[in-house]
Amino acid sequence: MALDSKTDTKPQQFKVVGTRPLRPDGIDKVTGRARFGADMSAPGMLVGLVLRSPHPHARIRSIDTSAAEALTGVHAVVTRADFGPPSDPGVADVLDNCMAGDNALYDGHAVAAVAAISGKVARQALKLIKVDYQPLPHVTDVDAAMAPDAPALHEGRADETVPAGMSPNVMARHEFGHGDIDAGLSQADRVLERTYRTEATHQGYIEPHACLATMNADGQADLWCCTQGHYMVRNTCAAILGIEQGQLRVTASEIGGGFGGKTTVFLEPVALKLSQKSGRPVKMVMSRSEVLRATGPTASSSIDVRIGMTRDGRITAGFAELRYQGGAYPGSPVDMGSMSAFAPYDLENVRTVGFDVVTNRPKQAAYRAPGAPMAAFAVESAIDELARGFGLDPLEVRLKNAAREGTRASYGPTYPAIGLEATLRTAKDHPHWSAPLGPNQGRGVACGFWFNFGGDTCVSLNITPDGTVTLSEGNPDIGGSRASMSMMAAEELGIPYDRVRTVIADTGSLGQNEVTDGSRVTFAVGLATIEAARAAKREMCKRAAQVWGIDEDAVIWEDGAARPAGPNAGQHPPMSLAEIAAIASNTGGPIAGHFEVNAEGAGVSFATHMVDTEVDPDTGAVKILRYTVFQDAGKAVHPSYVEGQFQGGAVQGIGWALNEAYIYGEDGILQNPGFLDYRIPVASDLPMIDTVILEIPNPGHPYGVRGVGETSIVPPLAAVANSVSDAAGVRMTSLPMSPPKLLAAIRSGQS
C-alpha cells in the first residue's frame, strides 16, 4: 500500500525518540552470551566444508567424489549434480554461485562440499575429491573485459539494452539524464575530462558466514544463519532446493556485520543439501579467506567524467560513463551509480551511461549504498578540481549548484524537501572549515546522496497481562535496531522505553520481511511498529470504552492511558495500559496490534563530509587528521546509533580511499584473501569522527525518519581524495591512494 503523508508541518514533540537509552541486547553482547552464526550447535551435528576452484576460469570436465565418500567419517558429498534446476529461474545465478555448474568462474568458486564428523575429516575428504578442470582464458579488469576480444564468461546473455558489437561481457547498459550535454558544455568556461578508477572492496564484516542446517527427507527444514534477511534466505533456499517456503523455518542469529554482503546466500543451500543427504544437522562456517575469495565484494569501476563549469562556479553540464565489473554474474550496481552520480546537483544538462560488466571475480554483493560511492568519487573529484582551478571555495560551488526542494533530480523526479543545502551550510559555518592547516596538510569536502528504501514489513506488538509490551519484528538487529523499535513503540504507546521488549522473530512467526538493507529498518520497520502500536491503542481505547459504557469514539489515548475524549464523554479516571492489560481476559481477550505493509515512500538523504589529511611527501603515507560528517537523518530516533552509522560509513570510505583493494595477479588469483593484506582501517589509523546530525523530516514517515546507514559511505572516497590532492599538490584519480601510488604521483609531479 501507499502511505499517506503523516507528518504535520510543525515539529513534533517526542518523549522517547531522540533520547539515548541503553540497547536491550547490550548485556548479551558485552558478556559474550549473544549467539552469532557460528555459535550454535546441534546434537549429532556434522561439519560441512567447501572445495573451491583454484582457477579463475575453467571448464569442469568431471568431479570424482568416490574416494571422499569412502573415507570413514564422511556422511555426504555434494556437487552441482545434486541440485536440480531451481523452481524460480530468478535464483539460477545464485545457485550457480553457491555451487558451480559447467564452469568455475572465479578463484574460490565452490565446486563441491562435504559433511563429516569433524573438521579434520572434512578437510581430508576435500583433498580426496578429484576435479578435472580445463583452464580457460580469464579476465579480471573491467576495461579489459570490455575489449571486443576479451575472454567471455556468458556469451549471449547481454540484455536488449546493450548495443550490438560490444564485448560479450557487457550485460546491460543504463542511461539516465535530461537536457543537452553538448549545449551545456559549450556554455562553460572550462570543461574538465577525467577518468577515475576504484578497486573492488569487501564489506569486511568481522563475522564470517555461518549456518546450521537440518533438513529432513520429507522436506521440512530448519536453518540458523547469520544474514541480513532470513526471509530472503528462506525464499531463496526454497527455490534452489525445490521445497515449499512454509516448510523451511529460518532463524536469524545475531549478525556480526553485513553492510550489504549478507543480503544473499552462499553456504545455506549447500548446508541444507548436505543435511538432507546425510540425515544429520550440518554446520558450515567460512574461513576469512573463503569470505574474501568467494563472497561479494563490491564492484570495481572505471568512470569517464565530463563536466563544464563557468568561472563563477555554475555547472553547465555533467556527463559520466560508468563501467562497473560486478564479478562473474550480471547485476553490478552501475545502474545505482548512474542514477546517483549527479544527484546532489541542480543541473539543466546531465547524462550518465552505465555498463554492467562480468569478469572472473566473485559475484559482487551489495555494499552500503551500492554503486554510489565510486560515482560520487568521480563527480565530486571533478567538481573539486574545477572549483579549485577557478580559485573558488569548493563548498560555495556546491551550494551554488545544490539540489533543493523543487529541483529536478539528475535521475528524473522532482525533489521534495531535502537536506543537502542544510548540510552544506552547516559545514560552511562549522569551525572545522576555518581551522588552520599546516604544511603538507590539506582539506577536502564532498557530498553524497542515497535513495533509501522501504519494502515488505510485518510486525506484531503484543500487550502482556502485566502491561508490558513485546514487539516481534523480522529484521536482524545489525546495529541497535531493537533499541530504536522499542523506542518508537514506547513513544507511540506513551510508556517508558524499558516496558517494551523487541524480539527478532523467525520466519515461522511473521509474514514476509524484506532484507535489512537499503537503510530501511528504522524507516520501514519503525513505521510498521508505530502503526502496530496505533492498532493496539485503538483496541485498548475500545476496551476502556466498554468498561466505561461509552462510545469507543469518545475515548482517546494520551500519555500511556485511555481517557475520555472530552467532558461530554463523562467523568472517568484515565485507564493505563497496565490497567487495561490486567482486565484483557474480561474484556475480550489478549490485546495486540499488528501491521503489514510494503513501506513505499522512503526519503532520500544527503551528506557532506569534510576531512583534513597530512601527506608524507617522502613516502606517500596519508594521515587522517580530522573528519566531520554532516548528514540529514530526517529524525534521529537514537542519536548515538545514528552517529555510529555516520562514523562507521565514513571510516569504511576512508579504507576504500586509502588502502583497501582486491589485488589480482596476472594469473587471476586473489593475492590478498586475509585481513593482513586486505587492509581495513585499524584504531590507530584514525582520529575521532565528528558528526553533525541534521533533521529535515521525511514526510513519508510518521516521525520523519529517513534511512541513515548508507549515505555515510558515499562522500568519503571523494572527500579524502580531494583532501589528499590538496595536501600533496597532485590530483589523485585512482583509488586506493596507497602510498606507492601516491608517492609515484608526487614524484612525477615534481619531475
Partner 1 sequence: MSKIHVTTTINGDPVEYLCDAEETLLDVLRDHLGLTGSKEGCGTGDCGACSVTVDGRLVCSCLMLGAEAAGREIGTIEGMAKGDQLHPLQQKFIEHAALQCGICTPGILVAAKSLLDHNPDPSEEETRYWLAGNLCRCTGYDKIIRAVLDAAKDMREAS
Partner 2 sequence: MVKVQIFGSLKAATDDKSEVEIDASTLRELLDALADRYPGMRPQLDRGVSVAIDGRIYNDSWFTPIKDDSEVVLLARLKGG
Partner 3 sequence: MQYLSPTTIDDAIRLLSSQSGDCKVLAGGTDLLVRMRSGFAEPDSILDIKRIDELRRISRDAGGWRIGAAVSGAEMGEHADLVADWPGVVEAVNLIGSTQIQGRATMAGNLCNASPAADSVPAMIAAGAVARIAGQDGLRDIPVADVPTGPGKTCLSPGEFVTSIWLPSRPERSGDAYLRFIPRTEMDIAVVGCAVALTLDAGGTCTAARVSLGAVAPTAILVDAAADTLIGTTVDDTALDALARACSDAARPIADKRGTVEFRVHVAGVLAKRAAIIAKTRAGGAS
Collapsing DSSP states into helix, strand and coil, what is residue 332? coil
Nearer to partner 1 among residue 40 and residue 265 (C-beta):
40
In the list partner 3, partner 1, partner 2, none, the entry touching 740 (Cβ below 5 to 8 angstroms by class) is partner 3
Q: Does 653 bind partner 2 (CB under 8 A)?
A: no
Nearer to partner 1 among residue 394 and residue 480 (C-beta):
480
DSSP structure class, residue 155? T
In the list partner 2, partner 1, partner 3, none, the entry touching 164 (Cβ below 5 to 8 angstroms by class) is none
In the list partner 2, partner 1, partner 3, none, the entry touching 621 (Cβ below 5 to 8 angstroms by class) is partner 3
- Smallest gap from Cβ 87 to partner 2, in A, equals 18
Q: Which of the stretches 11-19, 92-100, 328-336, 420-428 binds partner 2 when contact is defined by CB under 8 A? A: 328-336
Nearer to partner 3 among residue 97 and residue 659 (C-beta):
659
Distance, CA of 85 to CA of 91 (rounded, Å): 10
Distance, CA of 180 to CA of 186 (rounded, Å): 10
Q: How many CB atoms lie within 10 A of CB 61?
A: 10
Q: Does 531 bind partner 2 (CB under 8 A)?
A: no
- Smallest gap from Cβ 52 to partner 1, in A, equals 16
Strand partners for 458: 596
Distance, CA of 571 to CA of 554 (rounded, Å): 12
Kindly list the residues in this chain that would bind partner 3 in the complex (CB under 8 A).
287, 289, 618-621, 658-659, 663, 671-672, 675-677, 679, 681-682, 684-685, 738-740, 743-744, 747
- Cα–Cα distances in angstroms (integers) from residue 254 to residues 203, 305, 504, in the given order: 17, 42, 9
- Interface with partner 2 in residues 390-419 (CB under 8 A): 411-416
In the list partner 3, partner 2, partner 1, none, the entry touching 469 (Cβ below 5 to 8 angstroms by class) is none
In the list partner 2, partner 3, partner 1, none, the entry touching 576 (Cβ below 5 to 8 angstroms by class) is none
Q: Does 644 bind partner 1 (CB under 8 A)?
A: yes
Strand partners for 52: 110
The C-alpha cell at 353 is 551511461
Nearer to partner 1 among residue 640 and residue 734 (C-beta):
640
- Specify whether the CB–CB gap between 415 and 604 falls below 8 A: yes
The C-alpha cell at 572 is 472517568
Q: Which of the stretches 66-74, 242-250, 499-507, 638-646 binds partner 1 when contact is defined by CB under 8 A? A: 638-646
- Specify whether the CB–CB gap between 383 and 307 falls below 8 A: yes
In the list partner 3, partner 2, partner 1, none, the entry touching 206 (Cβ below 5 to 8 angstroms by class) is partner 1
Nearer to partner 1 among residue 328 and residue 680 (C-beta):
680
Distance, CA of 71 to CA of 709 (rounded, Å): 48
Query: Residue 491: which H helix or E strand, with range?
Result: helix 481-493
Q: Which of the stretches 36-44, 76-84, 266-274, 296-304 binds partner 1 when contact is defined by CB under 8 A? A: 36-44
Query: Residue 250: which H helix or E strand, with range?
Result: strand 248-252
- Smallest gap from Cβ 481 to partner 1, in A, equals 10
Q: Does 230 bind partner 2 (CB under 8 A)?
A: no
3-state SS of 566-634 is CHHHCCCCCEEHHHHHHCHHHCCCCEEEEEEEEECCCCCEEEEEEEEEEECCCCCCEEEEEEEEEEECC
The C-alpha cell at 287 is 574461513
Distance, CA of 709 to CA of 629 (rounded, Å): 13
Max intra-chain CA distance, the chain: 91
| Buried/exposed 272-281: b ≥16 CB within 10 Å, e otherwise | bbbbbbbebb
Binding interface with partner 1 (CB under 8 A):
20, 22-23, 25-27, 29-36, 38-39, 120, 203-208, 254-259, 285, 287-288, 478-480, 638, 640-641, 643-645, 647-648, 650-652, 674-676, 680-684, 686, 688-689
Interface positions with partner 2 (CB under 8 A): 1-2, 159-161, 173-178, 203, 259-261, 263, 333, 335-336, 338-339, 351, 353, 365-371, 411-416, 451-453, 455, 517-520, 598, 600-602, 700, 710
